[in-house]
Amino acid sequence: MFQQDPEQERPDDAIEDRVDVRDHLAGLLELTDEFFRQASPQVRAELALFLTTQHGWNPRTGLHAYLDSLSFTALGLPHQERGSS
């Protein structure tokens, strides 16, 4: 998982900055995904209720679709082309 060294200087290259941002976002998404997959049934139920009532996700499949989306997004971010934003 992503770990940032607060003493490390940021690279000057803008492309490297975008890569760092993607890696950072991927790390945050992985952490969030891991938390919700290991969360108690009550926490997962609250997330499912939130997704259903506030965002219109399917009550039966919404939570699993959301968690899968987190995983796939986290996996794909570091592998995006260097030239894309």
Measuring CA to CA, how many Å separate 49 from each of 28, 41, 67, 71? 22, 12, 14, 20
The yes-or-no verdict on residue 83 having pLDDT over 80 is no
Q: Is the pTM of this model over 0.75?
A: no
Q: Residues 7-14: what's their mean pLDDT?
A: 58
User: According to the model, what pLDDT value does residue 77 have?
Assistant: 83
Q: Write down the mean pLDDT value for the chain.
A: 83
User: According to the model, what pLDDT value does residue 79 have?
Assistant: 76
Tell me the pLDDT band of 33, cut-offs 50, 70 and 90: very high
CA atoms of 20 and 69, how far apart (whole Å)? 21
